[in-house]
Amino acid sequence: MEREQALKIVKGQLTDHRYQHTLGVMETAISLAKQYGADEKKAETAAIFHDYAKFRPKDEMRQIILNQNFPQDLLHYHAELWHAPAGAYLVELEAGIKDKEVLDAIRYHTSGRPGMTLLEKIIYLADYIEPGRHFPGVDEVRALAKENLNTALIQAVKNTILFLMKKNQPVYPDSFKTYNDLVMRQE
Ligand code: DGI
Ligand code: FE
Ligand code: FE
Ligand code: FE
């Protein structure tokens, strides 16, 4: 799909702030794809659509997870996790995106998963470091991303888990599994 058409579709789904975030993720993902040798067009499409379902009603996302037989344990964790798998489903259904790699990059952009593909890593990281992000530790991850994709990704996943734990929030097991998988591969 042409970039302009894809952007027009997501603009209708997002607030202006979330749309600006999406543009940042797109630029960052394309640049990471160039740097690390991923498909730039797939990175562009996955980035544009990654938060497509961010503002869907919780009940709609819950029904998608139930009906599509997505991991049911998601329903026991924070609803913020749901827009990623629900988004992968809705982007195929409503925007006609069929590329499995692109859909998986959307599906796993919030929790990650063990054995992430290059494209999945790029979208997770771009979502974390795009220029509109301003949380503690983001500059360190931006610097790491210039040197080593996996090292940067570990730092991003670790920061996310620590952030949740500091607030005494439950952590979805796949986030821990992602962290463990990345660290064990580094050893
Ligand atoms: O949609 P974005 O805000 O761009 O970013 P995101 O999809 O990466 O994350 C959305 C939210 O999900 C963020 O506030 C942190 C939260 N989150 C990420 N991993 C986990 C999580 N929440 C829980 N409960 N458990 C997790 O493992
Ligand atoms: Fe998201
Ligand atoms: Fe993220
Ligand atoms: Fe995002």
Q: Residue 112 belongs to a domain with what CATH number?
A: 1.10.3210.10
State the residue range of the domain holding 22.
3-135
Evaluate whether residue 171 is within a structural domain: no
Query: Could you tell which of 78, 141, 161, 169 is best to mutate to test the pocket of ligand 1, judged by most ligand atoms within 8 Å of the CB?
Result: 78
Q: How far apart are CA 111 and CA 76, in angstroms?
A: 14
Evaluate whether residue 187 is within a structural domain: no
Evaluate whether residue 92 is within a structural domain: yes
> Residue 73 is which amino acid?
D
Burial of residue 178 (CB within 10 Å: 0-12, 13-18, 19+) is buried
Q: Which residue in the block uniquely carries the two structure tokens 């195929």? A: 92
* Number of domains the chain contains: 1
Q: How far apart are CA 116 and CA 169, in angstroms?
A: 24
Evaluate whether residue 93 is within a structural domain: yes
Convert the pLDDT of each residue in 14-52 to its tens digit: 999 999 999 999 999 999 999 999 999 999 999 999 999
Convert the pLDDT of each residue in 132-156 to its tens digit: 999 999 999 999 999 999 999 999 9
Evaluate whether residue 178 is within a structural domain: no
Evaluate whether residue 26 is within a structural domain: yes
Evaluate whether residue 157 is within a structural domain: no
37: Cβ contacts below 8 Å, ≥ 6 apart: 118
CA 99 to centroid of ligand 1, rounded, Å: 24
Convert the pLDDT of each residue in 45-98 to its tens digit: 999 999 999 999 999 999 999 999 999 999 999 999 999 999 999 999 999 999
ipTM: 0.91
